[in-house]
Amino acid sequence: MAQPARVCADAYLQIPGISSSNARHCALYLTFDNMNKPAHTGHDIHPLIQARWSPRAFDPRPIDAGQALSLFEAARWSASGGNNQPWAFVVFPADDSEARRQIEDALTGNNREWAPRAPLLVLAVAMPHPRVGKVGPYSYYDLGQSVAQLVVQATALGLFAHQMAGFEADKARQAAGLPDDCEPMVVIAIGHYGDYNDLPEALRERELAPRVRKPLSEFVFQGRWGRPIMLATASATTR
């Protein structure tokens, strides 16, 4: 497969709602393989967030070690309550055959069909929060933030990440050798985009389906639950 091509600003100007400055900003460092599904937003957002999506078609070619480490550096610098950083990651590269076999065996459902092609599988782990002495709400909250930064960094590098809840926690715990007080939360497939034609038909349809999200009116309220937000900058319509 050809190497990723740098995206020009003119291509990003075709995205509905994107500003010319955002298009130029995006073109400075974003690269993509052969599949791009930018979000069609009702309001301007950063192009990296607009470009992020979770495919299932991965190219098995390895990720550069420097790029891989930069993903975890991004996670490292996530916001964290009290700077406690109650997160950890266990990495299963494709060439670590025995460990990789064990984490793949922990996957369930359709994840077994596509995730093994990704060059990296990463187990994201919630650690005990020092304030409560066990895994708690802020462990989950902070881990989620760190994973979000990892995923955005992946997008900046022209990589893709797909987070999976479909795995057997006990098997993942055993595969990673986790301490008893840590909790496996999600497995993340990371790599370059592959070929959606390699997916089973049902998954191929999901791969090509339009991206959709709830409108802001369903989850952003002003002053009281259920009261529509009335900020002066809010648009009357949401695409």
43 and 73 in a common domain:
no
pLDDT of residue 233: 54
pLDDT bin (cut points 50, 70, 90) of residue 10 is low
Number of domains in the chain: 2
Q: What is the mean pLDDT of residues 216-232?
A: 92
Q: Is the pLDDT of residue 83 over 90?
A: yes
The pLDDT value given to residue 20: 58
pTM (two decimals): 0.83
- Mean pLDDT in residue range 223-239: 72
CA distance 37 to 210: 8
Between CA 22 and CA 48 the distance in angstroms is 10
Show the domain range for 3: 1-51
92 belongs to a structural domain: yes
Interatomic CA distance for residues 127 and 61, integer angstroms: 31
Token digits for 139? 């462990």
Helix (H, G, I), strand (E, B) or coil at 116: helix
112-115 long-range CB contacts below 8 Å, 24 or more apart?
Answer: 113/199, 113/200, 113/203, 114/56, 114/57, 114/58, 114/189, 114/199, 114/203, 115/56, 115/58, 115/162, 115/164, 115/187, 115/189
CATH code, domain with 59: 3.40.109.10
183 compared with 239, residue with greater pLDDT: 183
pLDDT at residue 1, rounded to an integer: 37
My answer on whether 127 and 200 are in the same domain is yes
